[in-house]
Chains A and B, each alone.
Chain A
Amino acid sequence: MFENAKTAFLFGGIFMFVVAYLWEGYLPLSHLNEMKVETMEELTADVLPEFEELAEVYPKEFKEYYGEPTSEAMAEALILGKKVYTQEACWHCHSQFIRPVSNEATRYGPVSLAKEYSNEMNYPHLFGTRRVGPDLIRENGKHSNDWHVAHFYNPQMVVPVSVMPAYVWLYDETVDPPVPNKKGMAIITYVQWLGSWLNKDGNKLNNTGKAPLADEIETETDKKLAELQNGDSK
């Protein structure tokens, strides 16, 4: 019976796949789906200070691309920023989750929790599997807009040993110094947005970590998911 093409197809192929999906796909999903998926409106209710700063530093260009630094403009920039992040495959060299091991919480900031990814910006997620460059999920507050402007234009200019490519097409090069174009401002907004939900008090120094998000866990769902993540579910 087990040495037959049909058995292999129906039982080994389809049935075993469904079993595996139920265990490793459906079951975790059923837990994770208890979380609310934040909409773009909720995500951009507070306009990112870095986004406002772009409007201030490049008033003419910003007005042309995004108008005023409103919530709607920020949502537009975030979605475009994620598209740039995807099409340039940033996620192949920069991960977006902090593990509780290997001193990552000290280096980058608080360990990632499931609820941080439960929003419309994570279809699909951008966890990544390689770190040629550092993790980015706690990037907000680590570098200024200006730093990013120089860095995307030519990474070796600010980090001489960096192996990141230059993204000159994210700039309007007809002026000196080059000014980020619509896509350039979008990717800067997106990168500055990563982790901004932890830095509501934007005044902290670059390196001083805020209290981990775990301290702010409120709902029962959050509590349960944190337990599942730590592996001590009852």
Chain B
Amino acid sequence: MLKIENLHARVEGKEILKGLSLTVNAGEVHAIMGPNGAGKSTLGHVLSGREGYEVTAGSVSYHGNDLLALEPEARAAAGVFLAFQYPVEIPGVNNTYFLRAALNAQRKRRGEKELDSMQFLKLVREKIKVMQISDELLHRAVNTGFSGGEKKRNEIFQMAVLEPQLAILDETDSGLDIDALKQVAQGVNLLRSPQRAFLMITHYQRLLDYVVPDFVHVLADGRIVESGDKSLALKLEEHGYSGIGASQPTGAAA
């Protein structure tokens, strides 16, 4: 589904990604772990098309197409979803209205029929039940005045409604207490399917106790320095990131 090859990217003239390669197949859950400043969030932003991130070398193919050539909204319609580390507030814009506009914009771009308000309401009702989102959240303005946990839950709820094929979760676990973390993890688990892939960017391994990944990668200094299964995350927990980078001869020092 997603093939990243030798990706180099710059932000404000500074090279952050330095030859990152990664392949993700449908149905897989990949965890990207790494120390602060390694380039984890940059990866998420480059994949979803944020302005200001300049790709200097390498390629990203998504379902065989050049993902980097697409505008952010076209990537969204193609099934790429980024759950933000810091979800953005849009005062005065109703959460449900926003989500319906987003879903219909995506459907329209894909040549599908837009949902009318009744159809959309039905869909939202189903999803809030599954995601255990309070009704009240739907009537408020997008992320405005939401608590940290509510914002993250709202991201997962949006994901549930938009049903992406490739979901990138950027530190969705950060700032959550254990109960909120469990709720968010449960939401993610419910959305796991053979057609959908996840890229979970996280600093800590505790999220991985609840959403068990198929693969764990360590991102350090702009590239993937080690890959493994769930046990790698536990190893990291024990020894920290410093040990990993040093054990790799071709690693972070380059």
- Asked whether A and B interact, the reply is no
